[in-house]
Structure 1
């Protein structure tokens, strides 16, 4: 990818989510309609155009796996988060190649 952004494959991301459950956050940087249509379960939505304001609310002691549709917007978001001092990784290929569970509709309230 461009900008030397560290990427994780879907397999690596799933392993991180399973092994470091409390330390890893899935961050969706798509639009609210895209998130409503289909998303990876338990992912947090912060659209890319809002991230520059909202990132300050994200805890710095977490690892972020950032995704979008194909991995382009999330690469920008990952680059930005890393510049701001966060540990962030771009999900290679985005949700389009995510082979695991997906959900749609309104997110369940936790």
Structure 2
């Protein structure tokens, strides 16, 4: 298994509050994203990431999450390999203790 840098929910929340260049990236499926998500997260499903990553600005930092942290670990590895600063949210949305939202994003 490959190693990628991870952040805890507490570290991720602090990064999001302190740095306007941090982006939350959800790599789950669209139905999962509509069901529940962390507010203000950008959805790029893992199977689309290999095509869509080039549209992501390289001057941002990415905190990548999925349901439990497995898909996001792969996405984080891929993004770092492509030259992005990316971190895996340890435990995924399952362990996110802060605000969540559901429904179609506006």
Q: Same fold (TM over 0.5)?
A: yes
* DSSP 3-state at the match of 1:90: strand
The answer for the alignment partner of 2:50 in structure 1 is 52
CA positional deviation for 1:98: 0.1
Shift of 1:3: 1.0
Q: For 2:23, what is the secondary structure of its paired residue?
A: strand
Give 1:27 deviation, angstroms.
0.1
1:35 CA drift (Å):
0.1
1:4 Cα deviation (Å)? 1.3
- Number of corresponding residues: 106
**RMSD, aligned α-carbons:** 0.5
Runs of 4+ with >2 A deviation: none
In the other structure, the counterpart of 1:74 is 72
Residue 95 (structure 2) pairs with residue 87 (structure 1): no
Paired position in structure 1 for 2:7 = 8
Distance 2:88 2:6 in 1: 5
